[in-house]
Chain A
Amino acid sequence: KPISTEEKDKAVLAKKYLQRFYGMPAGLQRPGKSSDLMQQKIREMQEFFKLEVTGKLDDKTVELMEMARCGVPDVAE
């Protein structure tokens, strides 16, 4: 089933967010590897914000990603 534009928007937002604040590498990944990596990074972000850790882009996770915030990464590099 084609992915809805809303889903796509969410995925783009999440990808940018995780690259910026959770050290997810940018650029192309091997097929399959990128979704695992993304799930792992989503879990990291959910753990940090004490959300339910699902690895999925549920409403609460996306809602938090959309909030105004500081540009320093949460994962202290």
Chain B
Amino acid sequence: YNHFPRDLKWKTTNVTFRILNYTPDLKKKVVDRAVRKALNVWSKVTPLRFTKTFDGTADIMISFGTKEHGDFNPFDGPEGLLAHAYPPGIGIGGDTHFDEDETWTEDYHAFNLFLVAAHEFGHALGMAHSSDPGSLMYPVYSYAKGFPLSEDDIEGIQSLYGENPDHEKFKPKPIAPEKCDPELSFDAITELRGETIIFKDRFYWRLHPNMPEPEQTLIKNTWPEIPNKVDAAYENPERDVVIIFSGIKMWALNGYTLVDGYPKYIHKLGLPKTVRKIDAAVNIRDTGKTLLFVDEEYWSFDEQTGTMDTGYPRSIEDDFPGIGDEVDAAAYHYGYLNLYHEHTQFEYSYSARKVVRIMRANSILNC
């Protein structure tokens, strides 16, 4: 998180706000509700309290305008700039302006007024932009459900105003995982048309052969339909689909689009009902089999026949000696199975039937 120079903030925790005009995109009471909800995001985690006024000058004056709208800081028509706000201070300080050339909504279409307002009120209270892609104060718009503040946002605003003395329980979004954290473990790994996708928490890293720097993105930014948490994933290159597992459900993705008919239950693969979660999955391209790792055991699914091979589950420890008994994520490249557990990656040679190399899990991320 970042603050403005000199940690600009309001001298009192009682802050007033006034809505000067309304967007025609939404009913007046919907705008009122979105503004109040957006302010409550910050009062939930601090001693800040917001009072609505209907005349005169409030600390936070809220208005909708297009292009040049009176502060020599023009908007730019649809898209691009959505809104801006000024840090705490007299006069224009705290004032928040929305670009009326945008389409304002109360759901995931176009731009959600509540989310943009919550971000702008962060500025109006003293927060500058954060470089954490999972933070509300990240400069680029992204739609997300649930409580919008991340731990990064909360740490930032509480370092200005302190904690909320009578706070309720709330569930902040976790900070984006650092790729070179030595303790980093992965939720899942899969190939996707020549790229490698690594899932961790609400994010995924995307590795592309000619992109030396892995790119971290929110899962929901790319696949809004799948959950924020992926347990396992594998690519079936023959069908050009990636199968995503989360809990007892699975999704099939064809690039960026969800294949019709999904999600389905994982038991359709032939797994017993007692299986509630798949830890890791990997397609062995040479045999057309997909290995599904669950706790200390694994299954083998024949992609050709669409059935589970007989004689499974088998013990991971027996069949893959040297890697321990649990797997978080798995990948297969040219005869080598990469099995990840916690912060370690085991490279297992199928032909030699043994572990030939042990590395840090995030060595795949150039760490």
Instruction: Give the B-binding residues of A (Cβ under 8 A).
Output: 21, 48-52, 60, 64, 67-74, 76-77
Contacts and interface: CB of A to CB of B under 8 A. Distances in A.
Interface string B64-77: 00000000010100
Contact of A50 (B75, B79, B131, B212): B131
Contacts of B3: 76
Given A48-B131, A52-B213, A70 B111 contact: no
Contacts of A21: 139
B111 A69 contact: no
Interface stretch (B80-88, B322-330, B339-347): B80-88
B73 A71 contact: yes
B213 A51 contact: yes
B65 to A, nearest CB: 12
A76 B105 CA distance: 29
Given A50-B216, A51-B213, A76-B5, A68 B111 contact: yes
Contacts of A70: 81-84, 116, 119-120, 123, 129, 139, 141
A74 B129 contact: yes
Contacts of A48: 129, 131
B215 interface: yes
Interface string B126-149: 001101010000011100000000
B83 A76 contact: no
B2 interface: yes
Contact of B82 (A50, A51, A71): A71
Contacts, number: 65
A76 B140 contact: no
Nearest to B85: A72
A21 B3 CA distance: 15
A73 B79 CA distance: 17
Contacts of B350: none
B4 interface: yes
A71 B83 CA distance: 6
A29 B150 CA distance: 41
A69 B128 contact: no
B211 interface: yes
A10 to B, nearest CB: 15
Interface in B177-221: 211-213, 215-216
A65 to B, nearest CB: 10
B141 A67 contact: yes
B359 to A, nearest CB: 22
Contacts of A76: 2-5, 128-129
Given A52-B212, A64-B140, 18 more contacts: A48-B129, A48-B131, A49-B131, A50-B133, A52-B211, A60-B215, A68-B79, A68-B140, A69-B81, A70-B139, A71-B75, A71-B83, A72-B120, A72-B123, A73-B129, A74-B128, A74-B139, A76-B129
A51 B217 CA distance: 12
A71 B140 CA distance: 10
